[in-house]
Amino acid sequence: MYAQVAIEQVPGQLFTYAVPAGMEVRVGQSVTVPWRRIYHRGYVIALSEECPYVPKAEPDAQGDLFGETPAPKVKAIERIEDPLPYFSEGTITLLRWMAEYYDVGFTLALRSALPAPVREGRSQARERYVVAPILPPPPHLPPLSKRQKELYENIVRVDGGLLARLCEEFSTTAPTIRRLAKMGYLTCELREAPRSPLAGRRVLPSKPLPLTPSQAEALDVILREERPVLLFGVTGSGKTEVYMQAIAKTLEEGRDAIVLVPEISLTPQTVSRFAARFGQQVALLHSALSDGERHDEWHRIRRGQARVVVGPRSAVFAPVRRLGLIIVDEEHDTGYKQDESPRYSARDVAVMRAHIEKARCLLGSATPSLESWRNATELGKYALARLPERVGGAELPAVTLIDLREAGKPGEPLPIFSEPLIDALKGCLERGEQAILFLNRRGYAPTYQCAACGEPIKCEHCDAKLTYHAKDDTLRCHLCGRWQRPPAKCPTCGAPLFKTLGVGTQRVEQALAKILPRARVIRMDADSTGRRHSHDELLSAFRAKEADILLGTQMIAKGLDFPNVTLVGILSADRSLNIAYDFRAAERTFQLIAQVSGRAGRGVLPGQVFVQTLQPDHPAIRTACDCAYERFADDELALRRAQGLPPYTRLAALTLTGPDQAALERAAENAARALARTPGLEVLPPMPAPLERKDDLWRWQLLLKSQSSLRIARACHTLLPPDDRISGPIKALLDIDAVFLA
Ligand code: ADP
Ligand code: ZN
């Protein structure tokens, strides 16, 4: 018996090993194999009776004593790491498909299916100290000092937990807590505790709600259909309840479920809704978990101890035993596209995995991607279920469109806030309600320019203007992350005066402080949410009404449900509309307005939305303000069809990067000429990428169109196999079904 083994550290090919007699190897197992005199971890991808490979003699074994070449020998698997496989046959089929479809090496595809702490076999499950308060405290205990009392009360409040975590949370030491245990207030015991992110969180169990007629119908479609189902439901229409009942049904059938959510909406709130319904059966896979937690959650799933997996895009590979259902929530979200190789779309991988494992697939959104919408309407590849109304008759918010061109005074810069929005904000705060303000740009001002010659200050390493951050008086490049102090003199003309142009979230924060000095504002953007928990902390504070206004970038655009929010302001709806090279700009803008306005009026209070724009007549903005998705989709699809753009064609981007501009241009033209020979493939003329320079490297781009992505992948594979693309000074990156054309 022979095994094909993928060795993570040696990508590029699979290796053949002999299975020693008596060793029971199965496909998907993790094994240890020798490779060049070092033992490596590998995964068994296939088994065969015949040896599929004729080994070459090892060069260093040549020329033995008798001057003959020794008979080459296939090496043997050293040992099986774990009898329970890491991958099912279905997952291996899926990874093979992925490797071919996205044109990456198999081993790289496999890598994306394993969280780093699992791959590295780090953090073995181990015993840990668990602290629990004894309640009520037994009588006649020795008295506590003031600090001990405070600590004890804190531990009671959080209902105990892991010793290490409590020490961290309450800035104390293990001996201090142990002393409380010795005194009789607590127990502190060694237990084999899987490090579960949900452990120690108290969640009230929830029961299935009686479904509304449209929810019941949607559930029926989901359970009946063999095709993937697109669940088109406005925000607040009860999609999550439908998800949970579909999951419950799947569990009853003895099968497991995966729920993909955008990274950004993986809030404790989302997670606890699933935990409340399915308790300990829920596993959470999330990059913000500690290594130990990720490691343990993944193995809990593999062992069948957790049967509902909630996580971001990489959870699509979760090692559930018998997949019965995959849900992709907010299926239109661009976060499902991985931005490094393999550049897979988790939504598309989910559809494929469900197909391979004969599981149900459910895509949900209030603003479906045009790809999915077309599949569900024109093509009938998906079934369509609708939830046209909010649950409990809550109205969708009234949307007011404000023409910013008329809001300012002639000759003055555009105002950040129009009068109607300021009035509405004041009214909202007076009533004790909350508001969300949205601006898709962080920093203080996106342009820092010379007041004399008008030249903006640019990054020396990228094709990007630097953003001014007032808080620490820096100019930052949002592309490469480099920062510098503002220069004393203009590098172009030498004048010593600068002005800032444009508006970022920090500047809005400052302006708010002037207009509404008493308003408590939480700002949330990539600059304010650095630490591991601060994203959650900021949201919890806002939920607990510790602030009146939540101000942020797209981070706050989706998934949040705050019943007390009655006002949403989009400060500039144009920002995403004007990206000339992004043919999906209108779609993004529609989604953004619809999703952001979906935050208002989720509770019993009615909601109000203000959209400030310089282009009030743009169809995407108009239809979004009317919440008219279908009208938008019809018009936009007609445009795309006329222009030969996705979803009517497949589009891939081949980006070449290199230090020498002329050599790069030549390489791009050669590649274009070679690819153009493929039948059924349209190659657009090579051009500098929209981001012409990043991190000191030049970038050129070729756009490739075809009816089949596989044809594109194969043509590129023939031109340049994936492993050769990243060697040499010029590197090539292939992005199949490209989403970001930067
Ligand atoms: P969506 O996921 O579509 O945005 P949610 O599932 O969050 O909508 O539902 C919005 C609100 O309506 C939630 O508070 C939810 O608990 C409630 N809800 C959903 N379905 C029902 C139902 N059948 N009966 C009563 N309340 C419901
Ligand atoms: Zn830069």
Q: What is the DSSP string of 591-641?
A: HHHHHHHTTTT-SSS--EEEEEES-TT-HHHHHHHTT-HHHHHHHHHHHHH
Judged by phi (left if over 0) then psi (alpha if -120 to 50, else beta), residue 502 lies in left
User: Do residues 542 and 566 share a domain?
Assistant: yes
Domain that holds residue 476: 448-499
- The answer to whether the CB of 365 is under 6 A from ligand 1 is no
Q: Is the peptide bond before 647 cis (omega within 30 degrees of 0)?
A: yes
The mean pLDDT value for 185-204 works out to 71
What's the order of all strands across the beta sheet hosting 127-133? Answer: 161-162, 127-133, 186-192
Would you say the pTM of this structure is higher than 0.75? yes
- The answer to whether the CB of 414 is under 6 A from ligand 1 is no
| pLDDT tens, residue by residue, 95-125 | 999 999 999 999 999 999 998 888 877 555 5
Domain limit, last residue, from 640, 662, 681: 640
Neighbours of 473 (CB within 10 A): 10
Contact 3/42 with Cβ under 8 angstroms? Answer: no
- The answer to whether the CB of 236 is under 6 A from ligand 1 is yes
What's the order of all strands across the beta sheet hosting 474-476? Answer: 467-469, 474-476, 483-484
* pLDDT band (50, 70, 90) for residue 579: low
* Nearest residue by C-alpha to atom 5 in ligand 1: 238
Q: Is residue 99 part of a domain?
A: no
User: Do residues 251 and 220 share a domain?
Assistant: yes
Question: In whole angstroms, how far apart are CA 116 and each of 112, 123, 283, 338, 527?
Answer: 9, 11, 17, 16, 26
User: Do residues 164 and 256 share a domain?
Assistant: no
* Nearest residue by C-alpha to atom 23 in ligand 1: 211
Ligand 1 pocket test, pick from 391, 396, 560 with the greatest ligand atom count within 8 Å of Cβ, gives 391
Number of H helices, E strands in the chain: 21, 31
Average pLDDT value for the chain: 87
Query: CATH code at 566?
Result: 3.40.50.300
- The answer to whether the CB of 212 is under 6 A from ligand 1 is yes
Q: Is residue 96 part of a domain?
A: no
The number of angstroms, rounded, from the C-alpha of 557 to the middle of its chain's C-alpha atoms is: 14
Q: Is residue 585 part of a domain?
A: yes
Instruction: Tell me how far apart the alpha carbons of residues 665 and 672 are, in angstroms, rounded to a whole number.
Output: 11
Question: Domain total for the chain?
Answer: 6
Instruction: Tell me how far apart the alpha carbons of residues 319 and 303 are, in angstroms, rounded to a whole number.
Output: 9
Q: Is the pLDDT of residue 63 over 50?
A: no
Contact 27/14 with Cβ under 8 angstroms? Answer: no
- Return phi, psi of residue 566, to 5°: -120, -5
- The answer to whether the CB of 329 is under 6 A from ligand 1 is no
- The answer to whether the CB of 528 is under 6 A from ligand 1 is no
Q: Could you give the residue ranges of the DSSP H alpha helices within 184-290?
A: 213-224, 239-252, 268-278
Instruction: Tell me how far apart the alpha carbons of residues 108 and 402 are, in angstroms, rounded to a whole number.
Output: 49
What's the order of all strands across the beta sheet hosting 79-82? Answer: 15-18, 2-7, 38-48, 30-35, 79-82
E strands in 244-346: 256-260, 282-284, 308-311, 323-329
User: Do residues 184 and 330 share a domain?
Assistant: no
Instruction: Tell me how far apart the alpha carbons of residues 220 and 4 are, in angstroms, rounded to a whole number.
Output: 43
Q: Which residues have C-beta within 8 Å of that of residue 70, sequence separation ≥ 6?
A: 57, 61, 62, 64
The mean pLDDT value for 713-739 works out to 85
Q: Is the pLDDT of residue 574 over 80?
A: no
Q: Is the pLDDT of residue 705 over 50?
A: yes
Q: Which atom of ligand 1 is nearest to the CA of 391?
A: 12
Report the range of poorest mean pLDDT among 26-40, 60-74, 393-407, 546-560.
60-74
Q: Is residue 280 part of a domain?
A: yes
Instruction: Tell me how far apart the alpha carbons of residues 653 and 646 are, in angstroms, rounded to a whole number.
Output: 13
- The answer to whether the CB of 167 is under 6 A from ligand 1 is no
Ligand 1 pocket test, pick from 206, 215, 240, 331 with the greatest ligand atom count within 8 Å of Cβ, gives 240
- Sign of the CA dihedral with 610 first, then 611, 613, and 618 last: negative
Q: Is residue 492 part of a domain?
A: yes
* Nearest residue by C-alpha to atom 17 in ligand 1: 238
Instruction: Tell me how far apart the alpha carbons of residues 310 and 314 are, in angstroms, rounded to a whole number.
Output: 10
Q: Which residues have C-beta within 8 Å of that of residue 430, sequence separation ≥ 6?
A: none
Instruction: Tell me how far apart the alpha carbons of residues 389 and 379 are, in angstroms, rounded to a whole number.
Output: 25
User: Do residues 508 and 491 share a domain?
Assistant: no
Could you tell me the two tokens for 266?
A: 């993986």
Domain limit, last residue, from 460, 475, 499: 499
Q: Is residue 118 part of a domain?
A: no
User: Do residues 152 and 294 share a domain?
Assistant: no
User: Do residues 270 and 231 share a domain?
Assistant: yes
User: Do residues 407 and 473 share a domain?
Assistant: no
* Whole-number pLDDT of residue 123: 54
At residue 411, the 3 state secondary structure works out as coil
At residue 462, the 3 state secondary structure works out as coil
Contact 312/335 with Cβ under 8 angstroms? Answer: yes
Could you tell me the two tokens for 231?
A: 């669940």
The number of angstroms, rounded, from the C-alpha of 219 to the middle of its chain's C-alpha atoms is: 26
- Rounded to the nearest angstrom, the distance between the alpha carbon of 537 and the centre of ligand 2 is 30
* pLDDT band (50, 70, 90) for residue 62: very low
**Nearest ligand for residue 460 CA:** 2
Domain limit, last residue, from 589, 608, 640: 640
- Rounded to the nearest angstrom, the distance between the alpha carbon of 483 and the centre of ligand 2 is 8
Q: Is residue 249 part of a domain?
A: yes
User: Do residues 352 and 364 share a domain?
Assistant: yes
User: Do residues 552 and 582 share a domain?
Assistant: yes
Amino acid letter at 406? E
User: Do residues 307 and 373 share a domain?
Assistant: yes
Q: Is residue 360 part of a domain?
A: yes
| pLDDT tens, residue by residue, 522-572 | 998 877 766 545 777 788 889 889 999 999 887 776 656 788 888 999 998
- The answer to whether the CB of 616 is under 6 A from ligand 1 is no
User: Do residues 661 and 564 share a domain?
Assistant: no
Question: In whole angstroms, how far apart are CA 716 and each of 79, 215, 344, 690?
Answer: 38, 45, 16, 22
Instruction: Tell me how far apart the alpha carbons of residues 132 and 193 are, in angstroms, rounded to a whole number.
Output: 13
Contact 571/437 with Cβ under 8 angstroms? Answer: yes
* Whole-number pLDDT of residue 67: 46
Contact 228/361 with Cβ under 8 angstroms? Answer: yes
- C-alpha count within 13 angstroms, C-beta hemisphere, residue 456: 18
**Nearest ligand for residue 461 CA:** 2
- Return phi, psi of residue 722, to 5°: -50, -35
Instruction: Tell me how far apart the alpha carbons of residues 176 and 151 are, in angstroms, rounded to a whole number.
Output: 9
Q: Is the pLDDT of residue 137 over 70?
A: yes
Query: CATH code at 665?
Result: 3.30.70.600
Range with top average pLDDT, 627-631, 648-652, 685-689, 718-722: 648-652
The mean pLDDT value for 239-268 works out to 91
